[in-house]
Amino acid sequence: MDKSFSDNAYSTKIPKIAPSLLSADFCCLKSEIKSIHDAGGDLLHLDIMDGHFVPNLTFGLPVIEAIAKVSQIPLDAHLMVMNPDLYIEPLAKIGIKYLSFHQEVVHHSHRMIQKIKDFGMKAGIALNPGTPISTILDLLMDVDFVLIMSVNPGFGGQKFIKTSIKKVQFLNNFRKENQLKYEIEIDGGINAETIKPLIPAGIDIVVAGSYVFQSDDYQKAIRRLKNV
């Protein structure tokens, strides 16, 4: 395990930035989505919640379909729901590019991953802060990306959980040692300070909600995250 956290695994690549629409002004979604495109966002992150896996409700399928029609950047959907299987085909038809589900609610993860891929989407598996990476080691050969939650899911604006950095380091080393190509994504409490250790740890995709949408200049906020 110590080897997995060695400095030799560190990288300095520029991550993709995926602003989370959960923090946007819901009264002006179309203009908010355009602003993220114009500001240089790489992906648009959608937190899909059912009020059961997490104590909150967000986007239903009609709203996601409307978002897809106006978004000029790929959509990254994070399923925080009890029955993710029910969402796969509808989201594929809408045009979602990245789709992640939680390890904590799926008993047959390999089957779920393959189904997502069969519908032409990138398949990701998400882990809560308290879920160890050991629970997904047998899935890393098959996934396109892993989503590390650096806050407990359900609400935006929470404080970054620092143990998430070690998870990113481990995943980065594991893919190098096993010649795998999955991407590593992180979501929760990201700002210009908390992103700093994540860059050398090997992060590929950074979800940022409040930091981008509560800033006065979306482009400047995204550039800060990319240039740390």
pLDDT tens, residue order, the chain (228 aa):
333 333 334 446 899 999 999 999 999 999 999 999 999 999 999 999 988 888 888 889 999 999 999 999 999 999 999 999 999 999 999 999 999 999 999 999 999 999 999 999 999 999 999 999 999 999 999 999 999 999 987 666 678 999 999 999 999 999 999 999 999 999 999 999 999 999 999 999 999 999 999 999 999 999 999 986
Q: What is the model's pLDDT at position 10?
A: 41
- What per-residue confidence (pLDDT) applies to 55? 80
pTM: 0.91
User: Any idea which residues carry the catalytic annotation?
Assistant: 47, 187
pLDDT at 2: 34
Neighbours of 225 (CB within 10 A): 24
pLDDT given at position 56: 83
Kindly tell me the sign of the dihedral angle through the C-alpha atoms of 65, 107, 2, 152: positive
Q: Answer for the pair 33, 67: CB distance below 8 angstroms, yes or no.
A: yes
The Cα 123–Cα 74 span in angstroms is: 14
Paired with 79 in beta bridges are 48
